[in-house]
Structure 1
Amino acid sequence: MMPQLYLVLTLLVAAVIMFAMNKPRMDVVAVILMVALPMTGVISMSEALMGLSDPNIVLIAALFVIGEALVRTGVAQRLGDWLTARAGTSEAKLIVLLMVIVAGIGSFMSSTGVVAIFIPIVLRISRNARIPAGRLLMPLSMAALISGMLTLVATAPNLVVHAELTRQGYEGFGFFAFTPFGLPILALAVVYMLMARRYLAPGPVQAPLARAGIADWVSEYDLAGREHRLLLRPNSGLIGKRLDALDLRASTGINIVAIERGTGLRRRLLHPQAASVLEAEDILLIDLQTEGGQAFDIDAFIRNHDLIVLPLSGQWFTDTAQDIGMAQMIVPPTSRLIGRTVTQARFRTIYDLSVIGMKQGSDPVAKSVIHQPISAGDTLLTFGPWRAIRKLSAERRDLVLLDLPSEAEESVPGRHRAPFAAGILSLVIVLMVWGVVPNVQAALLGCLLLGLFRCIDMEAAYRSIHWQSLILIVGMLPFSLALQRTGGVDLAAEALLAATDGAAPRLVLATLFAVTAVLGLFISNTATAVLMAPVALAVASALGASPYPFAMTVALAASAAFMTPVSSPVNTLVAGPGNYSFTDFLRIGVPFAVICLIATVIMVPVILPF
């Protein structure tokens, strides 16, 4: 078996080098290994592909879909909005709430996805609160990694270790088996970051925008000077009236472009329809456009209808960008709109969008936009639901999409379906916790229900799956089998035991944690778990001890990837926006990895006895 072992180890070393260099891509390396391992004669081609039929691979894919549904329905963004409202400009409070929320969400969906969601939220908070983004993004990445220590399905390494336990005939970990370890480590991380934040980002960092934002357009078209926000008092005569019956546009020149309804997390931004009925405490966003330069006494209108004027700024438009967006459209020479006004063209009726700004050439139209005849080459600034903007983007004859604001990337297409998504997630968790059905079956049921309630469509579901991660796991799984058959796992276990000869079991756990964490500096934490899980179980067998403390130590160490920007995709994502250097991660990450090691060695034997 020694020649075959050397071949397998040679492939392993080659894989580690390619992973460290990131050439070729990790998933390509995994495919190379699936092709090369059967050539050693240790495993067959069908065994090299066995990961494709592993239930845990299907479970991970389903969790990607569930996570995407939470994004598309705005569940994650609403928590971000709540964070902004509760924390205000207090940096300490922001760090605490940010880490708790991110860890909580990450315990049920991809930590990489959570970080991708929260980076723009954190950058916006940073700009508004005048806090350097680097002081917030490192806590964000650390909390996302710790979320993997909270539940079984939080991260792929947990599922890999769980699968290795069941493959060797042991009972796997329960859904919340990780929680008693993850919560104390999260608390330690919060305290640690409150003290360590002073060593990050000495100056403010502004995230560069790839294109203009809504606030830029508000200034460019002078919207904040022309738009008004009016609150309906309980005794307002407008309450209970349909918009088509009021016909404010024709009678007064008032164009209602949006209706705010509700407060806090229940706040909604509605696009006005002819059949829309006004309610008490509604807030109307109006665009005052009078024909022929006629003066209109807006103050008298406010008094007569018992309204309150609320402040309006470009920031308001930006903060509502998850509900309703903007787009610049150009009028081509073939357009049927030419020569007609916005009102005559029944623009809002046909396109479900309001025209709130117009440019003829490079100059914005200062007078009434909706009564201005449209010419070829005019630029129209439209305002309305993102779904209507996306639908209109396919138009080519009458309008051509010129530009979308940077906030378009944060839009939520299914915000009104958030309760369904949250309810389905709760159902999936209950099924997993109580073991009513296998975890993978519960997750697949959740995906079907999310599709049934239109929280996600098939195209978005397929796009949400991080195929690179799945192929990486599939390609690395045969390695553990090959190492076991050639005696590599036993040799690794013997080497670890020899290094800790006669030492207490806790010292063995500490060594196992350190080896796993160091290996994670060079290859992904998923690949690390694939390689170290069988070693941990072999060490437990050699010591005649329970396999669970050793398996748990590997899982926790795999999630402790705080030390370099390449240890995890989570770190890579925040490195640029946070303006972090390699040494920033070493300076902050290494001490906390040591803290995690100490906490693990103390807690694991108490909760999972040897």
Structure 2
Amino acid sequence: IVLAAGGGKGWLTILITLVVVLVISGFLNNIPVVVIFIPIMEAVAARFGTSPSKVMMPLSFAAVLGGMTTIIGSGTNLLVSGALVELGEKPFDFFQFAVPGMVLAGAGLIFVLLFVPRLLPDRASLANQFMEIDGRHFLAQITLDESSALVGLASNNGVFGAFPDMTLRSIQREDNAFLPPFEDVVLAAGDVMVVAATRAALADAVAHDPGLLFPELQDGREDLDGRWLEGDRILAEVMVAPASRMAGLNLNMIGFRHKTHCVVLGMQRRARMMRTRITEIRLEEGDVLLVQGQPADINALRKSDDVVLLEWSAEELPALDHAKRATGIFALVILAAATGFLPVVAASMLGAVAMVAMGVLSFRMAARALDSKIFTMIPAALAMGLAMQVTGGAQYLAQNLIDFLQGAAPAVVLSAFFLLIAGLSNIISAKAAAVLFTPIAVGIAHELGMPVEAFAVAVVFAANCAVATPIGYQTSLLVMGPGHYTFADFARGGIPLIIVLWLTFSFFAPWYYGL
């Protein structure tokens, strides 16, 4: 739906997605919203060749900005409202701070769209960096049998639109070959479509139709529908080794499939792109073959003297036959967390266990998803934040600010108060800052004879500015792994956003509240 709404334009698709996230986050807890949109953003990034690091942090920021617009937008807002009641003040109405919230959210979203992706590094995991599309195209072939939906398809102005991510190089029909442009060509059973495509496009095609790219060999397709279509399926790249016995032979002559129990899906030869069937091309040293097999068979290629298994090239193909099962588990996790039936952590853990127990994920795949840096960094950062609270460090800074600004204009005090909370919320967390600074806000308002609402709203917005560290907001932790971020990346994208929100609040709030 998002891709269709974007009309094939990457920037528009990302814009629409972030706006949708911002709006939804005003009425739902932003944690499940981000959980829902992480795979959507990953799909958008993959579709338009964008690094996940460019879109994951903006996703988190959009959810945080949306949470500033209503009382239920985030737990931080509810904490401030509850603290006001305990202090004898009037609690927030549902849309109490919607107007200033939308002003800040609008300014923040513009900054996030235009500048945050430019501030973030183009980063991916080591495996993704190896497999990232760099213009390399593999030659592959699609054999049409009588049951194929492509049979009878005619070209439109010389183009077949069935595979938009592939380039049709030729159509082999018995002893004849049709070359571009394919005017007046109608596909028939038995045709072999020779295509060129990136690894990502081929992997996507095989994930949706496992046998689509299996080249038919001269000795038939025996065992094809068994071994290669069942169990865990691994996609990897191997290079024809120097002095390989495979050099000078084609796939029909080698018997590669039956010797290795792996099937060749594609072939890449340096900068040359051919138009003949890959089964008829005589291999050369240095050719790269895209192969599919079961984990044990792929690992066995390491012992081969004829091919070299390229490290970090192996990836597990998604089992799309489990998609409905995975979607059901995912929906139950979101429902349990969004309704408060289970804490987010408990719901997520049960969901992960269910994914493994029901065969959606293997234990190996689940273990690879764990990011060790999160488990080592977060406890240390939380300990520092706790120390700021129990030692009275945060209270000390607030009191010094009040003393320093004694006699200053209320607008100046409000602006400085916002900036102090925004800074500390990144150390002690957004919720801790909300609880700690709400009483201080009420005290300052009474001392200056100003509306309590103005300073209480400052606490809401400033506490929600916990975006410069991954520990300030849970949504930051959620995107840290998919975006492959470091601690410093959040400061790189978050600090400028905080400054934008601070300046916007400093100019708008005094006018809006009549200070």
TM over 0.5: yes
Give yes or no for contact 2:57–2:483 (8 Å, CA) kept in 1: yes
Query: RCO greater where, 1 or 2, for CA within 8 Å and sep 6 or more?
Result: 1
Mark the CA change 1:526 to 1:583 in structure 2 (over 3 Å): closer, same or farther. Answer: closer
Match of 1:448 in 2: 353
Question: Whose helix fraction is larger, Structure 1's or Structure 2's?
Answer: 1
Mark the CA change 1:405 to 1:592 in structure 2 (over 3 Å): closer, same or farther. Answer: same
- Whether 1:595 aligns to 2:478 is no
Cα distance in 2, alignment partners of residues 90 and 477 from structure 1 = 37
Q: How does 1:104-253 map to 2 (within 5 A)?
A: 107-108=31-32, 109=34, 117=42, 121=46, 124=49, 141-150=57-66, 185-191=104-110, 216-218=135-137, 223=139, 238-239=146-147
Cα distance in 1, alignment partners of residues 433 and 320 from structure 2 = 42
Deviation string, structure 1 residues 404-438 (Cα, Å, up to 9, x no partner): 798x78x8635554444443333222222322233
Cα distance in 2, alignment partners of residues 440 and 510 from structure 1 = 36
Shift of 1:396: 2.7
Deviation string, structure 1 residues 205-244 (Cα, Å, up to 9, x no partner): 9x9x9668667443xx7x3xx85797xxxxxx92379xxx
| Correspondence for 1:513 among 412, 418, 421 | 418
Give yes or no for contact 1:450–1:456 (8 Å, CA) kept in 2: yes
Give yes or no for contact 2:170–2:177 (8 Å, CA) kept in 1: no
Give yes or no for contact 2:172–2:193 (8 Å, CA) kept in 1: no
- Whether 1:88 aligns to 2:8 is yes
Cα distance in 1, alignment partners of residues 61 and 417 from structure 2 = 19
Q: Secondary structure at the match of 1:342?
A: helix
Q: How does 1:519-558 map to 2 (within 5 A)?
A: 525-527=426-428, 529=430, 532-533=433-434, 535-540=436-441, 542=443, 552-558=460-466
Cα distance in 2, alignment partners of residues 435 and 183 from structure 1 = 26
Q: What is the TM-score normalised by the length of structure 1?
A: 0.49
Q: Secondary structure at the match of 1:381?
A: strand
Deviation string, structure 1 residues 301-337 (Cα, Å, up to 9, x no partner): 965838999996546x654444546623336889899
Shift of 1:96: 1.9
Mark the CA change 1:165 to 1:333 in structure 2 (over 3 Å): closer, same or farther. Answer: farther
Mark the CA change 1:500 to 1:474 in structure 2 (over 3 Å): closer, same or farther. Answer: same
Shift of 1:556: 1.1
Mark the CA change 1:548 to 1:500 in structure 2 (over 3 Å): closer, same or farther. Answer: same
Q: Secondary structure at the match of 2:176?
A: coil
Give yes or no for contact 1:302–1:308 (8 Å, CA) kept in 2: no
Match of 1:295 in 2: 175
Cα distance in 2, alignment partners of residues 99 and 331 from structure 1 = 47
| Correspondence for 1:433 among 338, 344, 349 | 338
| Correspondence for 1:305 among 184, 188, 200 | 188
Mark the CA change 1:589 to 1:342 in structure 2 (over 3 Å): closer, same or farther. Answer: farther
* Identity within the alignment, %: 17
Mark the CA change 1:496 to 1:347 in structure 2 (over 3 Å): closer, same or farther. Answer: same
Cα distance in 1, alignment partners of residues 280 and 46 from structure 2 = 38
Mark the CA change 1:352 to 1:600 in structure 2 (over 3 Å): closer, same or farther. Answer: farther
Q: Secondary structure at the match of 1:327?
A: strand
Note the aligned Cα RMSD (angstroms): 6.6
The residue identity in structure 1 corresponding to 2:344 is N
Cα distance in 1, alignment partners of residues 338 and 492 from structure 2 = 40
Deviation string, structure 1 residues 560-579 (Cα, Å, up to 9, x no partner): 789xxxxx9989x9999xxx
Q: How does 1:449-468 map to 2 (within 5 A)?
A: 449-468=354-373
Mark the CA change 1:84 to 1:397 in structure 2 (over 3 Å): closer, same or farther. Answer: farther
Q: What is the TM-score normalised by the length of structure 2?
A: 0.55
Cα distance in 1, alignment partners of residues 194 and 431 from structure 2 = 56
- Whether 1:347 aligns to 2:257 is yes
Cα distance in 2, alignment partners of residues 286 and 542 from structure 1 = 74
Give the paired residue count. 430
Mark the CA change 1:590 to 1:305 in structure 2 (over 3 Å): closer, same or farther. Answer: same
Shift of 1:558: 1.3
Match of 2:400 in 1: 495
Q: Secondary structure at the match of 2:466?
A: helix
| Correspondence for 1:370 among 269, 279, 300 | 279
The residue identity in structure 1 corresponding to 2:15 is V
Q: Secondary structure at the match of 2:341?
A: coil
Match of 1:99 in 2: 18
The residue identity in structure 2 corresponding to 1:147 is A
| Correspondence for 1:329 among 236, 239, 242 | 239
User: Which structure 1 residue ranges, 5 or more long, are not aligned?
Assistant: 1-78, 126-132, 153-157, 171-175, 231-236, 242-259, 270-282, 563-567, 606-610
Q: Secondary structure at the match of 1:329?
A: strand
Mark the CA change 1:488 to 1:592 in structure 2 (over 3 Å): closer, same or farther. Answer: closer
Shift of 1:381: 1.9
Give yes or no for contact 2:41–2:55 (8 Å, CA) kept in 1: no
Cα distance in 2, alignment partners of residues 343 and 597 from structure 1 = 75
Shift of 1:150: 4.7
The residue identity in structure 2 corresponding to 1:296 is N
Cα distance in 1, alignment partners of residues 258 and 64 from structure 2 = 47
Q: Secondary structure at the match of 1:124?
A: coil
Give yes or no for contact 1:355–1:380 (8 Å, CA) kept in 2: no
Mark the CA change 1:164 to 1:462 in structure 2 (over 3 Å): closer, same or farther. Answer: farther
The residue identity in structure 2 corresponding to 1:305 is A
Give yes or no for contact 1:514–1:557 (8 Å, CA) kept in 2: no
Give yes or no for contact 1:536–1:551 (8 Å, CA) kept in 2: yes
Give yes or no for contact 2:385–2:427 (8 Å, CA) kept in 1: no
Cα distance in 1, alignment partners of residues 502 and 484 from structure 2 = 18
Cα distance in 1, alignment partners of residues 492 and 392 from structure 2 = 38
Mark the CA change 1:140 to 1:346 in structure 2 (over 3 Å): closer, same or farther. Answer: closer
| Correspondence for 1:396 among 288, 302, 306 | 302
Match of 1:24 in 2: none
